[in-house]
Amino acid sequence: MRLVLLGAPGAGKGTQAKKLIEKYRIPQISTGDILRKAVTDRTPLGKEAKSYMDKGELVPDSVVIGLVKERLAKDDCKEGFILDGFPRNTSQAQTLDGVLAMMNTPLTVALSVDVDKDDLMKRLTGRRTCRGCQQMYNVYFSTPKKDGICDKCGGELFQRDDDKEATIKNRLDVYEKSTAPLIDHYKKKGILKSVMGVGSIDEIFNKVCAVLDKK
């Protein structure tokens, strides 16, 4: 299955992707995670990306598209993949369509996870992520057993630099302007599905699987 997860910041793309990896045994390709690792490792790519990410702006296509092409060419993507956070605008979507057409492996489905703006703000300001295994928690909705420590691997939990209220507002605006039009892009291609991303993480996962299992 070749899947694109669409949805606003905080919709739960990463949370659902982590569960989908286990069920479908295909890798998650999160451009946000790749870029954050480059920032932490202080690579030239990370240094370039950081200024955009801190403001909640999109990192230039020239940078991101190269990363994704390289990742898709790896062996573990042969049976499929979950794209999380890519594409983010029409130009990225068109490039992806072209790359996959050349490989004769078009997308199976673009799944949009829909959540109201007020819920998104709470999810993002409350999010904590494990430095070790990237598991997500939330101070309002899903706290770890031990404060600040990951249940799964014992790693330290941190708050993302871009999960500050002003930056979140800009990320949501950028989503509306640049990314939301992709809903139409995939609708026209006949591969769009959507689920309401409200309810418990497991309830949403069941809805997501019900859609994907029909594909």
Q: Can 42 be counted among the known catalytic residues?
A: no
**Alpha-carbon torsion (41, 44, 49, 50), positive or negative:** positive
User: Applying CB under 5 A, does 9 fall inside the site for Mg ion?
Assistant: no
Task: Figure out which of the listed residues 26, 29, 50, 86 binds ligand AP5, where binding follows CB under 6 A.
Answer: 86
Q: Whole-number minimum distance, CB 18 to ligand AP5, in Å?
A: 8
Question: What does the block give as tokens for 114?
Answer: 């829909």
Q: How far apart are CA 34 and CA 26, in angstroms?
A: 17
Q: How far apart are CA 27 and CA 76, in angstroms?
A: 7
Q: Whole-number minimum distance, CB 171 to ligand AP5, in Å?
A: 5
> Which does residue 46 touch among Mg ion, ligand AP5, none (CB within 5 to 8 A, set by kind)?
none
Task: Figure out which of the listed residues 85, 107, 110, 182 binds ligand AP5, where binding follows CB under 6 A.
Answer: 85
> Which does residue 7 touch among Mg ion, ligand AP5, none (CB within 5 to 8 A, set by kind)?
ligand AP5
Among the listed residues 28, 6, 7, 4, the one whose alpha carbon sits nearest the alpha carbon of residue 135 = 28
Q: Whole-number minimum distance, CB 85 to Mg ion, in Å?
A: 6
Kindly tell me the number of DSSP H helices and DSSP E strands found in the chain. Answer: 9, 8
DSSP for 53-79, please give it: HHHTPPPPHHHHHHHHHHHHTSGGGTT
> Which does residue 171 touch among Mg ion, ligand AP5, none (CB within 5 to 8 A, set by kind)?
ligand AP5
Sheet strand arrangement including 192-196: 28-30, 81-84, 2-6, 109-114, 192-196
Task: Figure out which of the listed residues 7, 14, 56, 87 binds Mg ion, where binding follows CB under 5 A.
Answer: 14
By CB under 6 A, what part of segment 143-202 binds ligand AP5? Answer: 162, 171, 200-201
Among the listed residues 122, 85, 64, 61, the one whose alpha carbon sits nearest the alpha carbon of residue 6 = 85
> Which does residue 207 touch among Mg ion, ligand AP5, none (CB within 5 to 8 A, set by kind)?
none
Q: Of 2, 36, 88, 128, which is the active-site residue?
A: 88
Q: Whole-number minimum distance, CB 77 to ligand AP5, in Å?
A: 17
Q: Which positions are catalytic?
A: 13, 88, 127, 160, 171
